[in-house]
Amino acid sequence: MKAYVMLAEGFEEIEALTVVDVLRRAKVETATVAVGPLPPAHGAPRIVTGSHGVPVVADVGLEGVRPAAEDLLVLPGGMPGTKHLQESPLLAAMLEHHRAADGWLGAICAAPSVPGRLGLLRGRRATSFPGYEAELLGASHATEPVVRDGRIVTSRGAGTALAFALALVAALQGQPAADALSASMQVPQ
């Protein structure tokens, strides 16, 4: 099992990097993935800059990702990051294929609108940043900080990033693993 955290220019740093940190602490092999229009020159680093100016060197480009059904694809929100995720036909095709195989999907803040617009949340409970409810096509919108419906986990925003990351650990490894990690990190209960 692997996790792929999708980074497009303007991603929300807290939502992406909290997930990367927590998943790696849980020993989930996690890669950051540059989602963008053009790959860099051969051998050049793939630097993606977040919405607050934090540059991150991505581990791989989207064209190099071939997720298996047991893998997790994570979409952090932020603007214009979410807009750039929506603009990627390669990401859309990957999400559709991954969900058709019942693959794991996590999305936070505005990013649930990406699979939402593709109809991938149809018939599911999901949450998002306020104002994005209409883009969760066919989903039952919930207002909890984190919502899990089957192999889809959604969350509301930057303030829920740690709860979202721990919910992803619980989904992949079980609640006892998430509880143990939470306790080791001194997360208030």
Nearest Cα to Cα of residue 11 among 134, 161, 123, 162: 161
Do β-strands 55-58 and 2-8 pair in parallel, antiparallel, or remain unpaired? unpaired
User: What CATH number has the domain spanning 2-179?
Assistant: 3.40.50.880
For residue 159, give the DSSP letter. Answer: G
The Cα–Cα gap between 153 and 133 comes to: 15
Question: CB of 32 within 8 A of CB of 56?
Answer: yes
Peptide bond into 76 cis (omega under 30): no
H or E stretch covering 83: helix 81-86
What confidence tens digit (pLDDT) does each residue in 102-134 have? 999 999 999 999 999 999 999 999 999 999 999
47: which strand partners? 57
What confidence tens digit (pLDDT) does each residue in 27-61 have? 999 999 999 865 555 666 789 999 999 999 999 99
Cα distances (Å, whole numbers) of residue 9 to 2, 16, 63, 80, 173: 23, 12, 16, 7, 30
The whole-model pTM stands at 0.96
